Structure 1
Amino acid sequence: MMLLSLVMARSCDKQENEEMKNTTVEYSAVSRGKYLNINFHDDKLSIIDKRDGTPRDYILANADWKALAKLYKTIKLEALSTYKDPTQKRFYDGAAVASLRVIYDGKTYETTSFDHGFPPKEIEEFVNKIVSFATPSTQ
């Protein structure tokens, strides 16, 4: 039984790996005073945090990549555009306008705009993990 569990776990890991290799994720947050663009594809991460800034490129640590793959697996891509924003601070310059775009197997799925720092609850953990790579304490 334990061998079967190990084989099933490895099979799931392999499926997650394949899905992530075919996926590009783009997160952006923009306002008059803020610019943030985070892209990742497979284990490569690119961060631009200034307008006309130079991308900082990283290779994700295996643990971070696995955490992202696990969170990605919980997202329903077809429903991404239907998720509701929990706040509207961006309407009065209280937050940057954010969005998440996922390109999987050549098809693009995108959220409606939401407040940076306040993503829809259905993608909150995933977005927060992505944004955590751009904070100084994680670099």
Structure 2
Amino acid sequence: MSAKECNENKSQASDETSTDTTSELAEMRVAQNQVKVTYRASTRGFFEVIEIEGDSISFTNDYNLKEINTFAIPAEEKEEFNRLLSELDISELSELEPPSKTHQYDAAPAAFLKVTKGDEIFMTPSFDHGKPPKAINDIIEKILSIKSMFEKH
């Protein structure tokens, strides 16, 4: 085999590997874009819904869901959010125990986290807004942090 043939074979093998990696990354992006994460907290005097889907965040305090603000999430924030989401075992969300239950008698807004992936929905039991179960604390903080970037002060 000549050196030229060897280089052509290496180049072809490299192109195949590159194509495989590119398609895997594309599939991961498509999978992440099909995921919708919803955080909702409410009580008699308080209502908040925050949704992250694709590269955007939407939020409202309007009970009627008519005034919804939507913004593009900066790439570095989206990357960090996706990292936190990938570390979360969403199949176990329904089994999480809230650290406190003051939301059961209106002493705190009741909150939950819902992850919709395709046709599947994974949801936590309700917990106190501001005191999520430890397993989801970081992702809740990230959601609230991204929202605060776009709130009018």
Classify the TM-score, shorter chain: 0.7 to 0.9
What residue number does 1:36 align with? 48
Select 1:109's aligned residue among 122, 125, 128.
122
Greater helix content: 2
After superposition, residues 4-83 of structure 1 pair within 5 angstroms as 16-52=28-64, 53-83=66-96
Q: Residues 16 and 84 (structure 1 numbering): CA distance in 2 closer, same or farther, change over 3 Å?
A: farther
Matched AA of 1:99: F
Name which of structure 1's ranges 97-106 and 47-56 shifts more when overlaid on structure 2.
47-56
What residue number does 2:110 align with? 97
TM-score scaled by length of structure 2: 0.76
Higher Cα radius of gyration: 2
Select 1:86's aligned residue among 99, 102, 115.
99
1:81-124 Cα offsets, whole Å, 9 max, x none, are 00110111212322100011111121110000001111111111
Q: Residues 36 and 113 (structure 1 numbering): CA distance in 2 closer, same or farther, change over 3 Å?
A: same
Matched AA of 2:54: D
* Contact 1:27–1:100 (Cα < 8 Å) also in 2: yes
Name which of structure 1's ranges 12-21 and 97-106 shifts more when overlaid on structure 2.
12-21
Q: Distance in 2 between matches of 1:12 and 1:85?
A: 36
Q: Distance in 2 between matches of 1:13 and 1:48?
A: 32
Q: Secondary structure at the match of 2:93?
A: helix
Deviation at 1:12, TM superposition (A): 8.3
Alignment length (residue pairs) = 130
Q: Residues 69 and 15 (structure 1 numbering): CA distance in 2 closer, same or farther, change over 3 Å?
A: farther
Q: Distance in 2 between matches of 1:102 and 1:42?
A: 13
Q: Distance in 2 between matches of 1:13 and 1:65?
A: 16
* Contact 1:98–1:115 (Cα < 8 Å) also in 2: yes
Q: Residues 114 and 61 (structure 1 numbering): CA distance in 2 closer, same or farther, change over 3 Å?
A: same
- Please, what is the CA RMSD of the aligned residues? 2.1
Unpaired segments ≥5 residues, structure 1: 1-6
